[in-house]
Chain A
Amino acid sequence: MAEIFGIPVAVILGQLMLGLVNGSFYALLSLGLAVIFGLMGIVNFAHGAFYALGAFVALLSLQHLGVNYWFALALSPLVIALLGILLERLFLRHLYRLDPLYGLLLTFGIALVIEGCLHQYFGASGQSYPVPAALRGVFDLGFMILPIYRAWVILVSVIICFGVWFIIERTRLGGTLRAATENAPLLQAFGVNVPLLVAVTYGGGVALAALAGGLSAPVILVSPQMGSSLVIVVFAVVVIGGMGSILGAIISGMALGLIEGLTKVIYPEASNIVVFLIMALVLIFRPAGLFGRE
């Protein structure tokens, strides 16, 4: 068998494939963070909690209302978006004129409250969400067995990421959103309802987290702490991509998934720190991130 640095090519290909799956989750989550930071200047520490909440909405709607996977995938971002809009109107909007630190503290507090509530009602051990029937089974790629569901995750993530990038960078709505960050009073003078726009942006950002939660429900156990371990990595991804850069978040999410996958073969113990190592290097040599504007 062919080898690169003593590691069989088949193993490397397998790990790259898995890295792409993880990268898809990173990309979806960091995309939401980048949208919220780029357009609102809020460091949304509650992102992991919304991710967990998205998975719980899918799980509970299946258990209690019999809502199937496909509807749940649409329902949970919607529910979480409404919750996000509510939180923005009630709390976040008071903080825009203050130091970004206040937004960070508030969202961190919200995260603790959400996770605490989930913990209280559902316990720590987590629950299983079945893989939908249409996506069961595996692809035999020759070098590895790829469950169909994992391939589906990559597909959804790529479509959503491209869609969000297109809306923000290439449409009139996106232009208006970006104008709101540049000069809100001027935009308001044109008759645009800026507060509503901002609230919807926050809702949209957290809806992306909820979508990632719904997507991951069949892969891992749905538990209150599923988001808190992931959110730190995702923040590092956003910093590497450049705070607020949509394209940066997508590309660095995918790329870091791949790098992490390779680390798991070469030196597994380092797989949970390699992202932070790269973050440190990026901060030293390009403080604004790979795709950020100085």
Chain B
Amino acid sequence: MKTLAIHLAASVGLLAAVPAVQAADEIVIGDIDDFSGTYADVAGNGAVEAIRMAIADFGGSVLGRKITVLTADHQNKPDIGASKFREWADQSGLNVLLGGSNTGVSIAMAKVAASKKIPFFALGAGGSSLTNEDCTAYSVHYVYDTTALANGTATTIVQNGGKNWFYLTADYAFGTQLQNAASKVVEANGGKTLGAVRVPLGESDFSSFLLQAQGSGAQVLGLANAGEDFSNSLKAANEFGITRKMKPAALLAFITNIDSLGLQTAQGLYLTTGWYWDLNEETRAFGKRFFAKMNKMPTMDSGGYYSATLTYLKAVKAVGSTDPDKIMAELKRTKINDMFAKGGYIRADGVMIHDMYVMQVKTPQESKYPWDYYKVLRVMKGEEAFGPITGLCPLAPK
């Protein structure tokens, strides 16, 4: 009986220790992202730093209310992401959620955003279904999507003579969406798909699949994968001499991937990015500030996190409240002008339309200073990159 009493007392103590609902005089920004897996270097802690930089630049408060940040690791599992989002919505007075890095998790979190009526900025997740079949009135898709990546990289390569493609595709939603988007673009430009091989996620040896790619006789090796899969497949393609006969196309690559591969391996690669630290004075200034804190240059996702935070805070200030419907209306009405985007805007279906950059990775001789990795081949206007409204999202009829 005595032990029971102790247990009861202990549980009551624990209950009391659970933080109460955040005081209503705070603005709560949540960030649910991959902090420990393969995408942790793309966003992760760097993204949190970018959010804090944006808050600091905004002055640390809005409407006289202090701004606080909550973070959680979704471990690339949709159920964890969705339940954390729900918990914050119910218990922590969450006002806006940033996050993603994983299409599957982002789709799950978008559903929660709709049911809890909380604005959700998907950053770093590729799947364009987020603003098509899976769109919601509270979702915004920032930085890039599979359509924009394909329009950038695939168009450029086909126009440069790379007509016949073979795809190495990550065997999950993102890989399939990326391959489909790319092959549509390739075929629209007069190219052909000679074949594809679906590779299990997290494969450690790509050589077998690469030999199949080589056997197809295609000119272009389309890498419809990301993160470590991308780096390891490109590394193996070099080792087996496949890059001498086939031109590799990075359908999604981040600057951290290029950094870990080294220019010797990555040189000449075409890729599409939503942002780059070395575009102009403003981006360089941000890059340097970020580097001082994180000891690496920001990825396009980190830049996007900074911009998305500012965009939300500006909307709160303009509306004078955190009412989600008023905020969403304001977000879709106002142009975005900051170091990430010039004249960007959030379309009815939730895509943030902004310029995209088709890049080529520099050779070791061309690179003059650390993190000097890309040369801009072409700036794609937002409308061209993200394509017309498809009509799949009920919010945006064709």
Interface residues of A, Cβ cutoff 8 Å to B: 8, 11, 14-15, 18-19, 21-22, 116, 119, 123-128, 131, 138, 144-145, 147, 149-150, 219-221, 223, 225-226, 229-230, 261, 264-265, 268-269, 271-272
A-B contact pairs, 22 of them (CB 8 A): A8-B215, A11-B211, A18-B205, A18-B207, A18-B208, A22-B205, A123-B256, A125-B41, A125-B42, A126-B260, A138-B241, A150-B207, A150-B239, A219-B236, A220-B232, A221-B235, A225-B37, A225-B228, A226-B204, A229-B202, A230-B204, A264-B209
* Top-7 shortest CB links A-B: A272-B200, A264-B208, A124-B40, A125-B41, A125-B260, A124-B41, A123-B41
Residue B44 lies at the interface, judged by CB distance under 8 Å to chain A: yes
Q: Mark B19-57, 1 if CB is under 8 A from A, else 0.
A: 000000000000000001111111010000000000000
Partner of B265, one of A19, A128, A223: A128
Bound form: Cα–Cα A284–B262 in Å: 47
User: Does the CB pair A268–B37 fall under 8 Å?
Assistant: no
Residues in B whose Cβ lies below 8 Å from that of A126: 228, 231, 260
B204 touches A119 (CB 8 A): no
Are A128 and B209 in contact (CB-based, < 8 A)? no
Q: Please pick, from A128, A138, A268, A271, the residue contacting B262 in the complex, using a CB distance under 8 A.
A: A128
B198 contacts chain A at the CB level, 8 A cutoff: yes
Q: B371 contacts the other chain (Cβ, under 8 Å)?
A: no
Instruction: Report if B240 contacts A (CB, 8 A).
Output: yes
Please give the distance in Å from A267's CB to the nearest CB on chain B: 10
Q: Indicate whether A11 sits within 8 Å of B36 (C-beta atoms), given known contacts A22-B205, A220-B204, A269-B200.
A: no
Does B259 reach chain A (CB closer than 8 Å)?
yes
B257 CB contacts on chain A under 8 angstroms: 125
CB–CB B40/A119 < 8 A: yes
Interface residue from B38, B215, B296 paired with A225 (Cβ < 8 Å): B38
Point out the residues of chain A lying under 8 angstroms from B232, CB to CB.
220-221
Q: Which residues of A contact B197 (CB under 8 A)?
A: 268
Residues of B231-260 at the interface with A, using a CB-CB cut-off of 8 Å, are 231-232, 235-236, 239-241, 256-257, 259-260
* Contact of B228 with A221 in the complex, beta carbons under 8 Å: yes
Q: How far is the CA of A221 from the CA of B205 in the complex (A)?
A: 11
Docked CA distance A63–B70 (Å): 37
B212 touches A (CB below 8 Å)? yes
Q: In the complex, A261 Cα to B262 Cα: how many Å?
A: 29
Residue of B199, B211, B256 touching A144 (CB-CB under 8 A) = B211
Is B330 part of the binding interface, using a Cβ–Cβ cutoff of 8 Å?
Answer: no
Q: Mark B residues whose CB is within 8 Å of A.
A: 36-42, 44, 171, 197-200, 202-205, 207-209, 211-212, 215, 227-228, 231-232, 235-236, 239-241, 256-257, 259-262, 265, 296
Scoring A138, A150, A221 by chain B CB atoms within 10 A of each residue's CB, the highest score goes to A221
Find out whether the CB atom of A125 lies under 8 angstroms from the CB atom of B259. yes
Q: Is the CB of A145 within 8 A of B198?
A: no
Assess whether B38 is in contact with A124, with CB atoms less than 8 Å apart: yes
CB–CB A128/B261 < 8 A:
yes
Given A123-B41, A125-B256: A15 and B211 within 8 A (CB)? yes
Question: B260 and A221: CB pair below 8 A?
Answer: yes
Nearest chain A CB to B167 CB, angstrom units: 12
CA distance A126 to B171 in the complex (A): 22
Cα(A106)–Cα(B36), bound, Å: 21
Write out the residue numbers on chain B whose beta carbons fall within 8 Å of the beta carbon of A14.
211
Whole-angstrom CA separation of A150 from B235 in the bound complex: 14
Query: Is B235 a contact of A268 with CB atoms below 8 Å?
Result: no
A229 in contact with B204 (CB, 8 Å):
yes
- CA gap between A265 and B209 in the complex, in Å: 8
Residues of A within 8 A of B37 (CB): 124, 225
Chain B residues in 8 Å Cβ range of A272: 200, 203
Known pairs A220-B235, A261-B208, A269-B171. 19 more at Cβ < 8 A?
A: A11-B211, A11-B215, A14-B211, A18-B205, A22-B205, A119-B36, A119-B40, A123-B256, A124-B228, A125-B256, A125-B257, A128-B261, A144-B211, A219-B239, A221-B231, A230-B204, A268-B198, A268-B209, A269-B200
- Within the complex, which residue of A19, A128, A229, A271 is in contact with B235, where a contact is CB–CB below 8 Å? A128
> Which one of B40, B208, B240, B241 lies within 8 Å of A265 (CB-CB)?
B208
- Which residue of chain A lies nearest to B200 when distances are taken between CB atoms in the complex? A272
By the criterion CB–CB under 8 Å, are A149 and B38 in contact? no
Residue of B38, B239, B262 ringed by the most chain A CB atoms within 10 A:
B239
Q: Once the chains bind, are B198 and A269 in contact (CB under 8 Å)?
A: yes
Question: How distant is the Cα of A145 from the Cα of B235 in the complex, in angstroms?
Answer: 15
Residues of A within 8 A of B42 (CB): 125
Shortest Cβ distance from residue A286 to the other chain B in the assembled complex, whole angstroms: 27
Q: Which residues of B contact A11 (CB under 8 A)?
A: 211-212, 215
* Cα A21 to Cα B199 with chains together (Å): 18
**B residues within 8 A CB of A220?**
204-205, 232, 235
Residues of B within 8 A of A8 (CB): 215
Closest to A263 in B: B208
Cα separation A232 to B40 with both chains bound (whole Å): 22
The complex places the Cα of A261 from the Cα of B260 at a distance, in Å, of: 28
Interchain CA distance A107-B231 in the complex, whole Å:
30
Q: How far is the CA of A147 from the CA of B236 in the complex (A)?
A: 10
Per the bound structure, the CA–CA distance linking A149 and B236 in Å amounts to 12
Contact residues in B for A265 (Cβ distance below 8 Å): 208, 212
When chains A and B are docked, how far (Å) is the Cα of A66 from the Cα of B199?
A: 36
Contact between A268 and B260, CB atoms less than 8 A apart: no
Closest to A272 in B: B200
Q: How far is the CA of A14 from the CA of B210 in the complex (A)?
A: 11
When chains A and B are docked, how far (Å) is the Cα of A127 from the Cα of B235?
11
Note all chain B residues with C-beta closer than 8 A to A145.
240-241
Q: A22-B205, A128-B265 are in contact. Are A149 and B239 (CB under 8 A)?
A: yes
Contact B239 A147 (CB under 8 A): yes
A230 contact set on B, CB distance < 8 A? 204
Complex: how many Å from CA A269 to CA B208? 13
A241 CB, min distance to chain B CBs, angstroms? 20
For A116, list chain B residues within 8 Å (CB): 36
- Please give, as numbers and ranges, the residues of chain A lying within 8 Å of B240 by CB-CB distance: 138, 145, 147
